């Protein structure tokens, strides 16, 4: 479902990783066929992000997500645990000398978040609409500068969109909104939030914060 190769799917992948959610919220998460290579690459990405993102969680179950799910993941990933502690120490020392800020920052490669959203766009488009977004369809997702958000949101209102989806899974743990062009099925537009996290400096602008990932798919030229 992700690489678009025919006849290689030998696993079933949860499009939205079960690990995002508390065990009580893991019901009926959809699966798609996937090859072992894609499934492993996506799992690796998910494990990394699901260890870091809950530190920034702001949704209703944020505290339980962090307390119940993250310690086990940190224990299984010592290099990541060490990297997070190093960053925390470095920041504490730096901040302590200058001023105190009531927040903690952790290193996050936002391109990994984008990549995961691109996987989810591909899987969800197939589940909801039966449309194939694999190559050569272009699929891109990204955080955007906040000044772009109003324009991006206005795109959802365009009357040419056909099918529309709006989902909130786990009371804000993960939300997505998507629309599909009725005339070109592989043209789709998406908005994701994950745990309600806010990223800083995500799009190359120091101090600029973003909390929403937008994605678009375009048919082959």
Residues that bind Zn ion (CB under 5 A): 2-3, 35, 38
Least distance between Zn ion and beta carbon 145 (Å): 33
Closer CB to Zn ion, 13 or 181, in the complex: 13
Closest approach, Cβ 38 to Zn ion, in A, equals 3
Q: For residues 165 and 3, what is the distance between their CA atoms, to the nearest angstrom? A: 24
Tokens 């800020």 belong to residue? 101
In terms of phi and psi (left: phi > 0; alpha: psi -120 to 50; beta: otherwise), the region of 14 is beta
Which residue, 10 or 167, has its beta carbon nearer to Zn ion? 10
Nearest to 59 by CA among 199, 175, 173: 173
Contacts 24+ apart (CB under 8 A), 209-213: 209/146, 210/143, 210/144, 210/145, 210/146, 212/143, 212/144, 212/149, 213/113, 213/114, 213/117, 213/141, 213/142, 213/143
Nearer to Zn ion, 9 or 173 (CB): 9
The maximal CA–CA distance of the chain, rounded, in angstroms, is 59
Q: Which of 5, 90 has the CB closer to Zn ion? A: 5
Nearer to Zn ion, 34 or 197 (CB): 34
Beta-bridge partner residues of 166: 177
Measuring CA to CA, which residue among 64, 69, 25 is closest to residue 171? 25
Q: CA-to-CA distance for 122 and 15, rounded, in angstroms? A: 9
What backbone phi and psi angles, to 5 degrees, belong to 76?
A: -90, -5
Q: Which is nearer to Zn ion, 8 or 74 (CB)?
A: 8
């Amino acid at each position: 479902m992700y690489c678009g190769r025919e006849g290689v799917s030998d696993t079933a992948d949860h499009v939205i990783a079960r690990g995002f959610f508390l065990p009580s919220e893991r019901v009926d998460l959809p699966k798609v066929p996937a090859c072992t290579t894609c499934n492993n690459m996506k799992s690796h990405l998910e494990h990394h992000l699901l260890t870091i993102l809950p530190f920034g969680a702001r949704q209703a179950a944020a505290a339980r997500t962090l307390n119940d799910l993250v310690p086990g993941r940190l224990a299984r990933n010592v290099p990541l645990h060490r990297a997070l502690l190093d960053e925390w120490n470095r920041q504490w020392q730096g901040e302590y000398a200058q001023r105190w800020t009531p927040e903690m920052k952790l290193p996050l490669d936002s391109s990994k978040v984008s990549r995961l959203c691109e996987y989810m766009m591909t899987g969800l488009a197939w589940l909801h609409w039966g449309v194939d977004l694999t190559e050569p369809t272009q699929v891109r997702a990204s955080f955007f500068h906040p000044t772009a958000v109003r324009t991006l949101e206005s795109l959802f209102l365009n009357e040419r969109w056909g099918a529309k989806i709006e989902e909130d899974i786990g009371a804000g743990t993960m939300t997505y909104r998507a629309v599909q062009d009725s005339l070109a099925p592989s043209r789709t537009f998406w908005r994701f939030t994950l745990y309600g996290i806010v990223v800083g400096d995500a799009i190359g602008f120091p101090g600029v914060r973003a909390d929403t990932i937008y994605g678009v798919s375009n048919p082959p030229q």
